[in-house]
Amino acid sequence: MFQNLTIQVRYEGEFIIFMPLLTQKTITVKNIFPFIIALAALAFSCNKPTGFIISGKITNAGEKYLYLDELKVSSSVPVDSVRLKKDGTFKFKGKISYPNFYLLKLSQKNFITLLVDTTEKITVYGDAANFSRDYIVEGSPGSLLVQKLNNKLAITKHKLDSIRSWVSAFQNRDDYSIKKAKWDQELSDIKQQQIRFSTDFVQKHPFSMSSVLALYQKFDDANYVVQDLQSLKIAASALNSIFPKSEHVKALYINTQQIMLEEKNNKLHQLISLNGVNSPDIILPNLNGRKIPLSSFNGKIVLIQFWSALNRDSRIQNGALVDLYNKYKSRGFEIYQVSIDTDRVAWQAAIEMDGLSWTNVGDMRGSVAAVNSYNIQAIPSNYILDREGHIAAKNLIGPELDQAVGTLIK
């Protein structure tokens, strides 16, 4: 479908944007996603879906039933079934709006996975005795990629199981420790080969739904094969641009966002626990242009409040913060308020209008470094630091905030 396209890649925020360029002409747009979706719609409209056909022949199956199931994110749903003819031939027909995964099943344990596109005429050949392990598929590039992925992982798992069986069998031998070290290295090498293969696969096929399968393949129940977040982001962004209505793509995109958020939180937790540093320092200018370090308030109970003069919720919270500050300021309490604004006039006006007498800082460029250091996802947000600069709580408001400050200040 996109054989004549050159893909230009650029970053925007956390995700990667894919920009198709037609016949070497440079296209500049402010929002590339609608462009990509429109382009995809145009490509699909050139060949209106007439439906897919899956046919073929499975030998030595008698006249058993063959089942076609749609593979969902966490389950499969029966779609159709046919009785194989005496010679093993069969045919299924269906209509879909975007590529989708299907299971072609002789039984619960004897099946293959197909990645079916909207108008494909797919032919499958196999034998009932080893259908799941050895089959031929024609007319479906996506299904060939799926077969390649599954075969590679099956071979890898077989190698791993073979080595583990040797490890178990030799446990009581005198030379076990020497052999185990060798086997452990072999296990690691085999896993790394599979990880490189799968990661490279995703990077080479970011617009293929087969990459969804690659990203969800596992060595075992607890360990995914692809562990590279960058590959995950590339595939999630690319596929979401082309197939936003796909259940599999939606799940991948949401899962990627969650993993990215968890990674940010983990980085913050690591920073907090590293060498006793519990709160990253912030050094930003106040209204007079003087840079005020957050660390200059060590020894006090500090509320770090991220806000914007143009944000309604921030302004509402300011009223409560005034009361809190007046209640505890004489007992060693300070508010260090970080503005994410870019409008200096609005920032200054809000400070004066709301009566904010504590330390207010901001670089009028969004205070991005401070926002990233504290993993701020929304405003208003806050952290409470104890007298040693340790983070004691976050995102408290109302009575809970008053109680937390009162407890720390005693």
Under 8 Å between Cβ of 344 and 271: no
Among the ranges given (22-26, 125-129, 248-252, 326-330), the one the predictor scored with the smallest mean pLDDT: 22-26
pLDDT tens per residue across span 238-284: 898 889 999 999 999 888 888 877 776 666 556 555 444 467 899 99
Non-local CB neighbours of 399 within 8 Å, separated by 6+ positions: none
Looking at the DSSP bridge assignments, the partners of residue 11 are: 16
| Structural domains present in the chain | 5-46 (no CATH), 52-139 (2.60.40.1120), 144-270 (no CATH), 283-409 (3.40.30.10)
Structure tokens at 336: 């260090």
pTM of the entire predicted model: 0.57
Asked if pLDDT for residue 121 goes beyond 50, the answer is yes
Asked if pLDDT for residue 211 goes beyond 70, the answer is yes
Asked if pLDDT for residue 52 goes beyond 50, the answer is yes
Q: Which helix (H) or strand (E) is 230 found in, with range? A: helix 229-242
- 365-383 average pLDDT score: 91
What percent of the chain shows pLDDT beyond 90?
A: 65
pLDDT tens per residue across span 218-251: 998 888 999 888 888 888 988 988 899 999 999 9
Angle at the Cα of 376 (from 371 to 381), degrees rounded to 5? 110
- 139-149 average pLDDT score: 96
Under 8 Å between Cβ of 195 and 201: no
Supply the mean pLDDT for the chain: 85
**Where in 97-138 does DSSP place strands (E)?**
100-105, 111-116, 121-127, 135-138
